[in-house]
Amino acid sequence: MPQDAWNEKRERQYEHIKEGLEQRGKSEGLAKEIAARTVNKERARSGEARNASRTSTDDISSGRRGGLRSHRGEGGRTYDQLYNEARQRNLPGRSKMTKHQLEQALRG
Protein backbone atom coordinates (compact mmCIF):
# COMPACT_ATOMS: atom_id res chain seq x y z
CA MET A 1 0.00 0.00 0.00
CA PRO A 2 2.93 2.43 -0.25
CA GLN A 3 1.66 5.71 -1.56
CA ASP A 4 3.06 8.04 -4.20
CA ALA A 5 3.44 10.81 -1.62
CA TRP A 6 5.69 8.68 0.58
CA ASN A 7 9.42 9.08 0.27
CA GLU A 8 11.87 6.16 0.48
CA LYS A 9 12.21 6.49 4.24
CA ARG A 10 8.45 6.21 4.74
CA GLU A 11 8.22 3.22 2.40
CA ARG A 12 10.96 1.45 4.41
CA GLN A 13 9.16 2.35 7.62
CA TYR A 14 5.89 0.95 6.22
CA GLU A 15 7.52 -2.35 5.21
CA HIS A 16 9.29 -2.65 8.57
CA ILE A 17 6.08 -2.11 10.54
CA LYS A 18 4.05 -4.41 8.28
CA GLU A 19 6.59 -7.25 8.50
CA GLY A 20 6.82 -6.91 12.27
CA LEU A 21 3.05 -7.12 12.64
CA GLU A 22 2.86 -10.15 10.35
CA GLN A 23 5.58 -11.89 12.41
CA ARG A 24 3.45 -11.30 15.51
CA GLY A 25 0.54 -13.08 13.87
CA LYS A 26 -1.53 -10.23 12.42
CA SER A 27 -3.23 -10.89 9.08
CA GLU A 28 -1.67 -9.31 6.02
CA GLY A 29 -4.61 -6.96 5.53
CA LEU A 30 -4.59 -5.74 9.11
CA ALA A 31 -0.80 -5.38 9.07
CA LYS A 32 -1.03 -3.23 5.93
CA GLU A 33 -3.72 -1.03 7.45
CA ILE A 34 -1.88 -0.49 10.73
CA ALA A 35 1.41 0.19 8.94
CA ALA A 36 -0.18 2.72 6.59
CA ARG A 37 -1.96 4.51 9.43
CA THR A 38 1.25 4.63 11.45
CA VAL A 39 3.30 6.01 8.57
CA ASN A 40 0.65 8.60 7.75
CA LYS A 41 0.51 9.71 11.38
CA GLU A 42 4.29 10.07 11.51
CA ARG A 43 4.19 12.08 8.27
CA ALA A 44 1.59 14.39 9.81
CA ARG A 45 3.61 14.78 13.01
CA SER A 46 6.72 15.77 11.06
CA GLY A 47 4.89 18.21 8.77
CA GLU A 48 5.17 16.09 5.60
CA ALA A 49 1.41 15.71 5.08
CA ARG A 50 -0.85 18.38 3.59
CA ASN A 51 -3.69 17.69 6.01
CA ALA A 52 -3.32 16.46 9.57
CA SER A 53 -5.88 15.81 12.26
CA ARG A 54 -5.45 17.26 15.73
CA THR A 55 -4.85 13.82 17.21
CA SER A 56 -2.11 13.14 14.67
CA THR A 57 -0.14 16.17 15.68
CA ASP A 58 -0.98 16.63 19.38
CA ASP A 59 -1.10 13.02 20.55
CA ILE A 60 1.83 10.91 21.76
CA SER A 61 3.81 9.28 18.97
CA SER A 62 2.69 5.97 17.50
CA GLY A 63 5.86 4.19 18.53
CA ARG A 64 5.66 5.36 22.11
CA ARG A 65 1.95 4.66 22.40
CA GLY A 66 2.44 1.01 21.43
CA GLY A 67 -1.17 -0.12 21.57
CA LEU A 68 -2.23 1.89 24.61
CA ARG A 69 -5.46 2.87 22.89
CA SER A 70 -6.32 -0.36 21.16
CA HIS A 71 -9.47 -2.03 22.38
CA ARG A 72 -7.72 -5.28 23.17
CA GLY A 73 -4.03 -4.39 23.19
CA GLU A 74 -1.66 -4.17 26.13
CA GLY A 75 -3.39 -1.36 27.98
CA GLY A 76 -6.93 -1.91 26.81
CA ARG A 77 -9.27 1.00 26.21
CA THR A 78 -8.64 4.40 27.74
CA TYR A 79 -10.78 5.90 30.47
CA ASP A 80 -12.26 8.33 27.93
CA GLN A 81 -13.23 5.52 25.57
CA LEU A 82 -14.88 3.61 28.41
CA TYR A 83 -16.63 6.72 29.72
CA ASN A 84 -18.00 7.56 26.26
CA GLU A 85 -19.40 4.06 25.87
CA ALA A 86 -20.94 4.27 29.36
CA ARG A 87 -22.52 7.60 28.39
CA GLN A 88 -23.92 6.10 25.19
CA ARG A 89 -25.43 3.26 27.22
CA ASN A 90 -26.73 5.80 29.78
CA LEU A 91 -24.98 3.97 32.63
CA PRO A 92 -25.90 5.61 35.96
CA GLY A 93 -23.06 6.75 38.24
CA ARG A 94 -20.47 6.72 35.45
CA SER A 95 -18.98 10.10 36.33
CA LYS A 96 -17.79 8.85 39.72
CA MET A 97 -16.41 5.51 38.43
CA THR A 98 -12.74 4.66 38.00
CA LYS A 99 -11.42 3.06 34.82
CA HIS A 100 -11.58 -0.38 36.42
CA GLN A 101 -15.16 0.19 37.61
CA LEU A 102 -16.20 1.36 34.13
CA GLU A 103 -14.66 -1.76 32.58
CA GLN A 104 -16.58 -3.98 34.97
CA ALA A 105 -19.86 -2.11 34.57
CA LEU A 106 -19.63 -2.28 30.78
CA ARG A 107 -18.92 -6.02 30.88
CA GLY A 108 -21.93 -6.80 33.03
State whether 11 and 38 are in the same domain.
yes
Q: What is the per-residue pLDDT across 37-72, written as a single tens digit (0 to 9) for each?
A: 888 888 887 777 777 666 666 666 666 666 565 555
State whether 8 and 24 are in the same domain.
yes
State whether 48 and 79 are in the same domain.
no
Residue 47 structural domain: 1-66
Indicate yes or no: pTM above 0.85: no
Q: Are 31 and 18 a contacting pair, CB within 8 Å?
A: yes
Q: In 3-state terms, what secondary structure has residue 17?
A: helix
Structural element, H or E, at residue 30: helix 28-45
* Average pLDDT of the chain to the nearest whole number: 82
State whether 58 and 80 are in the same domain.
no
State whether 61 and 75 are in the same domain.
no
Choose among 89, 41, 65: nearest CA to 33.
Answer: 41
